[in-house]
Amino acid sequence: MSGEVYGKVALIGLGLIASSMFWATRRAGLAGHVSGYARSEATRETARRIGLCHEVCESAAEAVADADLVVLAVPVGAMASVAAEIAPHLKPGATVTDVGSVKRRVIDDVAPHLPEGVHFVPGHPLAGTEHSGPESGFATLFENRWCLLVPVEGTDADATARLRVYWEGMGAKVDEMDADHHDLVLAVTSHTPHLIAYTMVGVADDLRRVTDSEVIKYSAAGFRDFTRIAASDPTMWRDVFLTNKDATLEILGRFTEELFALQRAIRTGDGEQLFDYFTRTRAIRRGIIEAGQDTDAPDFGRAKVER
């Protein structure tokens, strides 16, 4: 429940995030009108069929005309071309934001295209699923999830404050963060874990050819979680790794060092090192739950900690 924050919102790219934004916006009455545009005719047709957006336009230029807020919800690698395409059609005083998983590259790619008098407030909702496309969205995706706003130098404080109200209206908790710090934090919490999941599923797939279907047949919960993550959209994740290269390589380097240390401990039979390491990581997990930061944790997790 909320009130109208923007007269007109334009969503460019009609996938998981944009469609969830539309349903959340409609549910809370956060915008008078929502227009949408996606590059493919098939996506636009699907959007019309399921009632996604008040209006699905045939061009990005048409969608952003007279919009108070324009949301770039395309893969990170497509942000620059979309920004160039919409720039001449933006209303003076409008706010442009994005939802890209990487921030420094998006800022560098988008900002130079935007005309003076248009406010740019980059953002990133820390919420998603392994599904993509216009039919994958749902109104509650952002509930109780963080949305990070990454204002750049000179960003209008009122435009940022208004965007904050909009995300809060969609149920998110909002914080502000510097772009480089954002990219390093996300390399730790999201990007590298995705790469590890992709790799583990690839390894299991190679093994499956040797052991027939045993890997899938007897897959335990941990591995199934990996397969869920590894089912995420290939275009989106290709772009994430290409555009957050330095931070991901830095974290991957550290990860590899630790992995080698554990590998050595297994080879040399150093049980104490393994035990100490696992004790430390278990405490981290418990700390997260105790701090109430894992909103997905099943109740038994919390009960166990409290006992």
Ligand X SMILES: O=C(O)C(=O)C[C@]1(C(=O)O)C=C[C@@H](O)C=C1
Ligand Y SMILES: NC(=O)c1ccc[n+]([C@@H]2O[C@H](COP(=O)([O-])OP(=O)(O)OC[C@H]3O[C@@H](n4cnc5c(N)ncnc54)[C@H](O)[C@@H]3O)[C@@H](O)[C@H]2O)c1
Binding interface with ligand Y (CB under 6 A): 12-18, 38-40, 43, 73-76, 78, 81-82, 99-101, 124-125, 128, 132-133, 233, 236
DSSP 198-248: HHHHHHHHHHHHHHTTHHHHT--HHHHHHHHHTTS-HHHHHHHHHHSHHHH
Q: 87 vs 231, which CB is nearer to ligand X? A: 231
36 binds, among ligand X, ligand Y, none (CB under 5 to 8 A by kind): none
**Residue among 59 and 199 whose Cβ is closer to ligand Y:** 59
Nearest to 227 by CA among 248, 212, 254, 208: 208
Helices H, strands E: what count in the chain? 14, 9
Calculate ∠ Cα 28-30-31, nearest 5°.
Answer: 135
In the bound complex, what is the minimum distance in angstroms from residue 109's beta carbon to ligand Y?
A: 11
| Interaction between residue 128 and ligand X (CB under 6 A) | yes
Q: State the binding partner of 190 from ligand Y, ligand X, none, CB within 5 to 8 A by kind.
A: ligand X
Residue 101, Cβ density class (10 Å: 0-12 exposed, 13-18 middle, ≥19 buried): buried
CB of 76 to ligand X, least distance (A): 9
16 binds, among ligand Y, ligand X, none (CB under 5 to 8 A by kind): ligand Y
Q: What residues contact 142, with CB distance under 8 A and at least 6 apart?
A: 20, 21, 24, 125, 127, 167, 170, 171, 172
Shortest distance in whole angstroms from residue 68 CB to ligand Y? 20
Distance in Å, CB of 133 to ligand Y, minimum: 5
Of residues 51 and 234, the one with the C-beta less far from ligand X:
234
Q: Which residue of 2, 81, 190, 227 would you call a contact of ligand X, by CB under 6 A?
A: 190
Which region among 22-30, 51-59, 128-136, 210-218 touches ligand X (by CB under 6 A)? 128-136
Among 62, 85, 108, 130, the residue binding ligand X under the rule CB under 6 A is 130
Is there binding between residue 135 and ligand X (CB under 6 A)?
Answer: no
User: How far is Cα 199 from Cα 166, in angstroms, rounded to an integer?
Assistant: 37
* DSSP bridge pairs for 123: 149
Q: How far is the CB of 248 from ligand X (least distance, A)?
A: 13
Q: Residues 98, 70: contact at Cβ < 8 Å?
A: no
Task: Please tell me what DSSP assigns to residue 90.
Answer: P
**Structure token digits, residue 55:** 């209006």
Q: What residues line the site for ligand X (CB under 6 A)?
A: 101, 126-130, 190
